[in-house]
């Protein structure tokens, strides 16, 4: 892994003066994340939790190196904030904002393909490298350093699984919430590749949902390339077709987008599939004990 994309050193917060931005800046800093500055177009010159506020990212870059940005701006301004981060060539962009219109995200994705920036989200709880830093809104108290890579489409289920892994004494190496929107940045396969090539990751937990083809693509990747054990869970087994489950990405369209289809495909790819989120940690524990 190059100067590991999931452990950036100098972080900024776009929308640092809003209630979410200010609150989570404090929580991120309390966890040890090095937040060097934030942006707020109308509040430049102020400080939030001792972090200087600038008008633009370009202004910040005159004074600081920036490795990652966490975006907390409202959905109506998210496209402009994402464009600004991509134009400033920020290597890693994490977008917590939910409810961004699909046509805005299509424009963002088109811009991303011509850039070197990587996006996590939108509608993402963020990422964490337990014991080092966290970017986003994952609760500090559930994180424990370990050797399990966790990647999930669902924020709430991420917290549940990470808390259980921590309680069991296993802990996590990386926690990545890719977000639940249909148009997003990094997907399961991108994260699986990172985990696969990272010698500090011993096993992988993957939490998917109904809707879209991300999990099916992940199954194809796993069957072809994965050498590390993967434990998986797909939310939404009882969802009727055409019903939206929580957020935009989780709408069950074709049979291939159903929890049953995805579960079977991942099982065939060699993934240990769980039928309840509470079974994930015991399954990981068993795999780790069998490896010894």
R_g (Cα) of the chain, nearest Å: 19
CA 152 to chain centre: 7
Choosing from 24, 64, 237, 247, the catalytic residue is 247
261-to-94, 138, 212, 245, 268 alpha-carbon distances in Å: 30, 30, 12, 17, 11
Rounded CA gap, 172 and 292, in Å?
A: 18
Rounded CA gap, 104 and 231, in Å?
A: 34
Asked if 247 is an active-site residue, the reply is yes
CA 26 to chain centre: 20
At how many degrees (to 10) do helices 155-167 and 280-291 cross?
50
Can the peptide bond before residue 10 be classed as cis, meaning omega within 30 degrees of 0? no
266-to-106, 216, 220 alpha-carbon distances in Å: 28, 7, 8
Catalytic residues: 247
């Amino acid at each position: 892994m190059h100067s590991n994309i999931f452990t950036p050193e100098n972080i900024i917060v776009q929308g640092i003066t809003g209630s979410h931005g200010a609150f989570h800046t404090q929580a991120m800093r309390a966890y040890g994340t090095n937040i060097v500055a934030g942006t707020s177009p109308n509040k430049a010159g102020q400080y939030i939790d001792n972090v200087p506020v600038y008008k633009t990212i370009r202004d910040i870059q005159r004074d600081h190196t920036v490795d990652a940005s966490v975006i907390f701006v409202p959905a109506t301004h998210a496209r402009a904030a994402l464009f600004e981060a991509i134009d400033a060539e920020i290597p890693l962009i994490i977008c917590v904002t939910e409810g961004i219109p699909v046509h805005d995200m299509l424009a963002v994705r088109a811009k991303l393909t011509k850039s070197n920036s990587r996006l996590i989200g939108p509608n993402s709880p963020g990422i964490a490298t337990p014991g080092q830093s966290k970017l986003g809104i994952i609760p500090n108290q559930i994180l424990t350093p370990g050797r399990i890579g966790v990647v999930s489409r669902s924020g709430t289920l991420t917290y549940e699984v990470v808390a259980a892994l921590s309680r069991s004494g296993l802990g996590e190496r990386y926690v990545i919430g890719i977000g639940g929107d249909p148009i997003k940045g990094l997907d399961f396969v991108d994260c699986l590749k990172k985990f696969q090539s990272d010698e500090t990751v011993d096993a992988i937990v993957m939490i998917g949902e109904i809707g879209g083809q991300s999990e099916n693509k992940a199954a194809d990747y796993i069957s072809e390339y994965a050498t590390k054990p993967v434990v998986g869970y797909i939310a939404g087994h009882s969802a009727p077709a055409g019903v939206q489950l929580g957020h935009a990405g989780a709408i069950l369209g074709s049979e291939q987008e159903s929890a049953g289809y995805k579960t079977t495909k991942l099982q065939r790819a060699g993934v240990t599939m769980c039928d309840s989120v509470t079974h994930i940690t015991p399954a990981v524990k068993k795999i780790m004990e069998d490896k010894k």
